[in-house]
Amino acid sequence: MQASEDGQIAVSARGGVMTLLIDRPAKKNALTDALYGELSDALEDTEQDAAIRAVVILGAGDAFCAGNDISDFLTMTSRQGSEGQSEAQVFRFLRLLGSFSKPLLAGVQGRAVGIGTTMLLHCDHVVLAEDAQLSTPFVSLGLVPEAASSLLLPKLIGHARAFAMLAMGAVMGAGEAREAGLANAVVAGDSLEDAVMQAAQRIAALPPGAVQQTKALMRDSETIAKVMEAEIEIFAQRLKSGEAREAFTAFLEKRPPDFSAF
Ligand code: COA
């Protein structure tokens, strides 16, 4: 099936496992406001559905997720923060990720950029394909980290490696990501979905109350929420900066950015 360029989140459920497939392969599964809305709706529905014991996030095509749609970012640079204006769905999705009570899993192939990587920090089980490449080039876009990654990534991999990723845009390959504790396993690309679904089925067969309480004990959701709010405030300001506008315009014009005027 050929997805439209706008894409969709294809939601399916089987055996207590909900799968959310980011299905916008022509744009490397870059997430638009509408797709964040669909992801958020699905997560909210799942919280209410006792039959769903685990949620798996997948991406269609050769990339897991190229991060936030940069055309959407550009639109956000010119939005005025007027009262009554509906909040960007990306912030709704981030908050839901940080507070989600059920086990989250991801199967990642190819590029995982920006939120494509930072959402993995909120997953409880991550399987990578051998060609997975994780990166968080926030600074080169004139932005700052989000999804509490300014807290979670240094905690996991140490300040120096986290700075290389969050500030300098270093790309981490699958093997290093598993060694660093960002993922459970690296598998051949054609086994990715099976591997992550098997893990999800194992989790779905466990006593759900004990699983959710264990997750809650392991994650300091209060601190995560505080860090996310602090990041969101600065991120929203950065979105309106000249630096960010130049970075987004350069990407869309397929040219290198020029920050010499700043
Ligand atoms: N927002 C909007 N469009 C995006 C996108 C994004 N985040 N990522 C990819 N696309 C689009 C490209 O513009 C291109 O569109 P086109 O076919 O109309 O020209 C299409 O998706 C394919 O991407 P392309 O760059 O040709 O693929 P690639 O395999 O050479 O590179 C990436 C893949 C992910 C490395 C590269 O697209 C990229 O760097 N994307 C931006 C990532 C990013 O900075 N995200 C924001 C993080 S906060």
Name the residue with the closest Cα to ligand 1, atom 15.
27
- List, as one string, the DSSP characters of 206-232: S-HHHHHHHHHHHS-HHHHHHHHHHHH
Rounded Cα distance between 201 and 190, Å, is 19
The whole-angstrom separation of Cα 216 and Cα 7 is: 33
Tokens of 175: 């093997």
pTM metric for this prediction:
0.96
User: Which residue's C-alpha comes closest to atom 12 of ligand 1?
Assistant: 27
Domain borders along the chain are 8-189+207-214
Model confidence at 99: pLDDT above 60: yes
What pLDDT is stored for residue 242 in this prediction? 95
Residue that is written with structure tokens 């990723």 in the block? 165
Q: At residue 57, what are phi and psi to the nearest 5 degrees? A: -105, 130
Does residue 62 have a pLDDT over 50?
Answer: yes
Ligand 1 binding pocket mutation candidate from 5, 28, 115 (most atoms within 8 A of CB): 28
89 has a pLDDT exceeding 70: yes
Give me ligand 1 centre to Cα 147, in Å: 21
Q: Ligand 1 centre from 164 Cα, in Å?
A: 21
Question: Between these two residues, 3 and 201, which has the higher pLDDT value?
Answer: 201
Q: Is 147 in the pocket of ligand 1 (CB under 6 A)?
A: no
Rounded to the nearest 10 degrees, the angle between the axes of helix 242-252 and helix 221-239 is: 80
Sign of CA dihedral 44, 47, 51, 55: positive
Residue 2 has pLDDT above 90, yes or no: no
Q: What is the pLDDT of residues 202-226, one digit of tens each?
A: 999 999 999 999 999 999 999 999 9
Cα 17 to ligand 1 centre (Å)? 30
Atom of ligand 1 nearest to the CA of 143: 48
Residue 80 banded pLDDT, cuts 50, 70, 90? low
pLDDT digits (tens, 9 = 90+) for 101-148: 999 999 999 999 999 999 999 999 999 999 999 999 999 999 999 999
Residues 30-58, mean pLDDT to the nearest whole number:
97
Query: Is the Cβ atom of 71 under 6 angstroms away from ligand 1?
Result: yes
Q: What is the mean pLDDT of residues 187-206?
A: 98
**pLDDT tops 90 at residue 86:** no
What percentage of the chain carries pLDDT values higher than 90? 93
pLDDT score at 105 = 98
**What's the whole-number average pLDDT of the chain?**
95
How far is the centre of ligand 1, averaged over its atoms, from the C-alpha of 97 (Å)? 23
8-189+207-214 folds as 2-enoyl-CoA Hydratase; Chain A, domain 1 (3.90.226)
Confidence of residue 81 (pLDDT cuts 50, 70, 90): low
Tokens of 77: 């640079």
Q: In this prediction, what percent of the chain has a pLDDT beyond 70? A: 96
Check pocket membership of 68 for ligand 1, CB cut-off 6 A: yes
